[in-house]
Amino acid sequence: MTKITTAVFDVGKVLFEWDLRHLFAKLITDKDELEYFVTVIVTPEWHFQHDAGRALDDMVAERIAEFPEYAAWIAAYSNRFNETIPGPVTGSLEIVQELAERGVPLFAITNFGAEFWDMFRPTQPIFDRFQDIIVSGVEKLVKPDPAIYMLALKRFGLKSGEAIFIDDNHDNVISARENGFVAHHFTDAESLRRELIALDLLL
């Protein structure tokens, strides 16, 4: 059996919390209108087009043309995206630090728009701990596409079975398992810590 030596993390909802409501609740005081906005206009599904590599300016212009009465709030999506990320997931960054201090190689595969990544990455020094990060919007490949895992193995210099991949999305976990990774379905940092201890990556 191949020894697991390396940890590969997802970012959103594993290392950092993310929800469009964190931004738009600041702008939209009516709860019903807020829910309408984040389920019909600026939705996670629409947002994921940017994760897949679509240009942000094109998306925003198209949406404003479709919903001109919401132009200011749609513009806020592109200008204030970092406010959709309120902070780290409890306990996760501590695990990253401990792994780094033990000399465990760290990588990440994230579904994240290229332009938003350029905004967010410089605000978080924890990413300095990672040797490489594959960003879906840059590569125009998104999890759970098997191609993104194949790219990761090649770019990270990993053999099949050498790394544990950690993601909150069940489909991403299944695809990772089918494409060269041991995988952990993330629910909370304590459960992850127990698995990493069992694998002798943490004490």
Are 135 and 174 contained in the same domain? yes
Q: Strands of 106-110's sheet, edge to edge?
A: 132-135, 106-110, 6-9, 163-167, 182-185
Three-class SS state of 170: helix
pTM for the whole structure: 0.95
Domain end point (choices 66, 84, 102): 84
User: Which is nearest to 144 in space by CA: 116, 168, 120?
Assistant: 168
Q: Is residue 56 part of a domain?
A: yes
Q: For residue range 8-27, list pLDDT tens digits in order.
A: 999 999 999 999 999 999 99
Torsion of CA 126, 23, 47, 7, to 10 degrees: 20
Among residues 84, 105, 124, which one ends one of the domains? Answer: 84
Distance (Å, rounded) from C-alpha 184 to C-alpha 178?
13
Q: Give the CATH number of the domain where residue 143 resides.
A: 3.40.50.1000
Asked if 22 and 86 count as a contact pair (C-beta separation under 8 A), the reply is yes
Distances (CA, A) of 156 to 131, 159, 198: 8, 9, 23
Which tokens in the block code for residue 119? 């905004």
> What's residue 2's pLDDT?
85
Task: Give the residue among 104, 101, 99, 130 at the shortest CA–CA distance from 117.
Answer: 130
pLDDT at 168: 98
Give a yes or no: residue 132 inside a domain: yes
**At residue 72, what is the residue type?**
A
| Domain-located, residue 11 | yes
Q: What is the pLDDT of residue 167?
A: 98
d(CA 126, CA 156): 18
pLDDT tens for each residue of 15-67: 999 999 999 999 999 999 999 999 999 999 999 999 999 999 999 999 999 99
Residues 79, 162: one domain?
no
Statement to judge: residues 39 and 122 lie in one domain = no
Spans of the chain, pLDDT less than 70: none
